[in-house]
Structure 1
């Protein structure tokens, strides 16, 4: 009986700690179909240190660590000189996706975790999905969501133009 009770208590504690570290309450998801095969799109999107190549707001990117291993960090320089620091938390070349967290940023978000993924789409094209969860910080929930939608829309728009055959 003590073993069962201990198992229940341990499970409750684990669930409680998981909920305490859960992602933010807000979420954004944007998708775009691009005119490139998934392998080609992944060569561009899957480079954790390559956001400056396809996102119009990012002028430079520097990285510490290996961009395919959790724990790598990147510092993105924006056109206005502001910096965004991010940490890679998961990477899967076979699933063509990676997940990262913002550790420092001028964006109105905190507890930010995001995944970007490349999937096959009809006609040999690729579906790029960029999604995140976060909490607003220094702005209303609506403003934070609109900001992140704008970030994703700008990036996906440029990505589509860059990968056009």
Structure 2
């Protein structure tokens, strides 16, 4: 099983960051490469559109409002992996004045190596967290 992770430290309280990114349907609010998210099954499944118009379908597996985290699985996507499970988490730092956002995932490559799959998702997570940092700075 391959893994990837990325994190970013932000000079904003964790609750404020969680209010922006903590909703399962809020990716378009902070990720420019996800222009559309539609929720179904009572908010437990999201169908995303990427810039190429390809569908990514994900299922919410766990949600912890107090712990500021959620985990999701990919049901359908144009990625060379299966058994994908990812977690997005916001942690309080600097006595509540700042936060750290962590994005991690585990998955099994369907083609290529573990290292190649890990590099793909690490890049996705890093790009996403850079977009979040840019969003809160604007």
Query: What TM-score, normalized by structure 1, do the two folds share?
Result: 0.78
Structure (1 or 2) with the larger CA radius of gyration: 1
CA distance in 2, matches of 1:66, 1:117: 22
Query: Of the two structures, which has the highest relative contact order with CA contacts closer than 8 Å and spacing of 6 or more?
Result: 2
Which residue of structure 1 lines up, in the alignment, with residue 99 of structure 2?
126
Runs of 4+ residues over 3 Å off in structure 1 = none
* Paired position in structure 2 for 1:42: 18
| Counterpart residue number, 1:59 | 35
Structure 1 segment 6-155 matched on structure 2, within 5 A? 25-67=1-43, 72-122=44-94, 124-155=97-128
TM, length-normalised to structure 2: 0.93
The answer to whether the 8 A contact 1:34-1:164 is kept is no
> For 2:42 and 2:20, how far apart are their aligned partners in 1?
16
The count of residues paired between Structure 1 and Structure 2 equals 137
Q: Which runs of 5+ in 2 are unaligned?
A: none
If each structure's strand is expressed as a fraction of its own residues, which one has the higher value? 2
Structure 1 position 140, deviation (Å): 2.5
1:132-162 CA distance string (max 9 Å, x none)? 1101123332221111011101110011111
Greater helix proportion: 1
